[in-house]
C-alpha cells in the first residue's frame, strides 16, 4: 500500500467545493510538488492531509508505516513568529513528541533534536534567539523541527516564500538531500522551474485535478506546457 492514498477526494472551504475528484497516491521516497494558481485549493488539501480538515467526500488513507500524526509539517511562517522570544533549541525540541504525556523532554528527544540540528548545519545556532536569525536560518530551524516530528514523510507549504535566490537554491539542495536519504517529500510550490527540476511527480490542481503523474510527462502534457509557458515563457530546463 502507498503511504498516502487519496480516492475521489472532495474538499470544501466555507461550504464551497474547492477541489473535487482528486485521486493520487504517494509512495515511499517520492518527491511530489503540488502546483496550481492561488485559490486552487492547495492549502485546503494540505490541511486535509494533516487531518485539520475533514473531506466533504472521498477518503485519505495512510499506510506503509505512515500515520497522520507522524507527517512532518513545515507551515508558512506566521506574523506571530517574527518577534517571538524563543531559542532555536526550544523550537526544534517542540517537534519531538516521543515522550507522550510527560512534561519533560526525554534523552531520546534531545538526541533527535541534536541530530537534526547537525543535519541542517545549525548546531552552532542552538542557543540563539529565533527572531534574530536571517530568513534562511529561520527556515532551517523550522525544517529541523519538522524533521523531528516526521517518521518518513515531510509536507512543506511554500517553504521558499520570501527567501532570496541564493538561500532558496541552498534550501532546495537540502530538501533534495533529505529526499535521497529516503524521506518522502510533498511540497506546495509556486516555483515552477524548481518543481520541475527536483520533483519526481507533479500534482496540478484547479478545482479539478488537472494532472497527476511523473514530472517528465507533466512537461509534455497540454496543461503542463501551457502552465509553464504562461508563467515562465517556456524557459525551463528539466
Partner 1 sequence: MFDLLTRMFSYPFLTRALIAGVLISLSAALLGVPLVLKRYAMIGDGLSHVGFGALAIAVAVNAAPLAVAIPIVIVAAFLLLRLTENSAVKGDSAIALISTGSLAIGVMVISASTGMNVDVNSYMFGSILAMSSSDLALSIILSAVVLTLFVIFYHRIFAITFDESFAAATGLHARFYTMLIALLTALTIVIGMRLMGALLISALVIFPPLTSMRVFKSFRSVVISSAILSVCCFTVGMMISYAYSTPTGASVVCVYIAVYLIFALIGAVKGRIK
- Complex with partner 1: residue 91 or 199, whichever CB lies closer: 91
Task: Determine, following the binding rule CB under 8 A, whether residue 90 of this chain makes contact with partner 1.
Answer: yes
Strands (DSSP E) contained in the chain are 4-13, 16-26, 31-35, 57-62, 71-74, 153-157, 184-188, 201-206, 208-214
Neighbours of 100 (CB within 10 A): 6
Task: Determine, following the binding rule CB under 8 A, whether residue 98 of this chain makes contact with partner 1.
Answer: no
* Among 10, 27, 56, 94, interactor with partner 1 by CB under 8 A: 94
- Complex with partner 1: residue 108 or 226, whichever CB lies closer: 108
- Three cell numbers written together for 171: 534550501
Task: Determine, following the binding rule CB under 8 A, whether residue 230 of this chain makes contact with partner 1.
Answer: no
Alpha helices in 107-157, H assignment, sequence order: 107-119, 135-149
Span of 25-33, 94-102, 199-207, 209-217 interacting with partner 1 by CB under 8 A? 94-102
Pick out residues in 114-173 that bind partner 1 (CB under 8 A).
Answer: 129, 131-132, 145-146, 149
Q: How far is the CB of 87 from partner 1 (least distance, A)?
A: 4
Q: Among candidates 131, 121, 122, 130, which has minimal Cα distance to 90?
A: 130
Q: How far is the CB of 44 from partner 1 (least distance, A)?
A: 13
Span of 30-38, 72-80, 112-120, 204-212 interacting with partner 1 by CB under 8 A? 72-80
Span of 81-89, 167-175, 191-199, 228-236 interacting with partner 1 by CB under 8 A? 81-89
Angle at 97 between CA 84 and CA 113, to 5 degrees: 65
Phi-psi region of 119 (alpha: psi -120 to 50; beta: other; left: phi over 0): alpha
Give just the sign of the alpha carbon dihedral 174, 175, 176, 182.
positive
Q: Among candidates 148, 24, 43, 172, which has minimal Cα distance to 98?
A: 148
- Complex with partner 1: residue 135 or 193, whichever CB lies closer: 135
**Residue 231 in contact with residue 204, Cβ under 8 Å?**
no
Distance CA 229, CA 193 (A): 11
Paired strand residues for 25:
5
- Complex with partner 1: residue 93 or 228, whichever CB lies closer: 93
Task: Determine, following the binding rule CB under 8 A, whether residue 84 of this chain makes contact with partner 1.
Answer: yes
Span of 24-32, 86-94, 198-206, 214-222 interacting with partner 1 by CB under 8 A? 86-94
Residues of the shown chain interacting with partner 1 in the complex, contacts defined by CB under 8 A: 50-52, 68-69, 71, 73, 75, 78, 80-81, 84-87, 90-91, 93-95, 97, 103, 105, 129, 131-132, 145-146, 149
Amino acid at each position: 500500500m502507498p503511504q498516502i492514498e487519496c480516492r475521489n477526494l472532495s474538499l470544501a472551504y466555507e461550504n464551497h467545493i474547492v477541489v473535487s475528484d482528486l485521486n493520487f497516491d504517494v509512495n515511499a521516497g517520492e518527491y511530489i510538488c503540488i502546483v496550481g494558481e492561488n485559490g486552487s485549493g492547495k492549502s485546503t488539501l494540505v490541511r486535509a492531509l494533516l487531518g485539520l480538515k475533514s473531506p466533504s467526500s472521498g477518503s485519505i488513507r495512510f499506510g506503509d508505516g505512515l500515520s497522520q500524526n507522524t507527517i512532518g509539517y513545515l507551515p508558512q511562517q506566521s506574523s506571530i513568529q517574527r518577534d517571538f522570544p524563543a531559542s532555536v533549541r526550544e523550537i526544534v525540541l517542540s517537534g519531538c513528541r516521543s515522550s507522550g504525556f510527560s512534561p519533560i523532554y526525554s534523552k531520546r528527544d534531545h538526541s533527535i533534536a541534536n541530530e537534526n540540528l547537525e543535519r541542517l548545519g545549525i548546531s552552532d545556532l542552538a542557543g540563539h534567539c529565533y527572531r534574530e536569525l536571517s530568513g534562511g536560518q529561520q527556515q532551517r530551524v523550522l525544517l529541523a523541527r519538522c524533521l523531528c516530528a516526521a517518521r518518513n514523510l515531510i509536507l512543506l507549504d511554500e517553504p521558499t516564500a520570501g527567501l532570496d535566490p541564493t538561500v532558496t537554491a541552498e534550501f532546495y539542495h537540502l530538501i533534495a538531500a533529505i529526499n535521497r536519504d529516503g524521506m518522502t517529500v510533498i511540497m506546495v510550490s509556486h516555483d515552477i522551474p524548481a518543481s520541475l527540476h527536483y520533483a519526481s511527480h507533479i500534482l496540478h490542481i484547479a478545482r479539478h485535478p488537472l494532472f497527476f503523474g511523473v514530472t517528465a510527462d507533466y512537461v509534455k502534457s497540454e496543461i503542463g506546457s501551457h502552465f509553464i509557458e504562461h508563467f515562465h515563457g517556456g524557459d525551463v530546463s528539466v
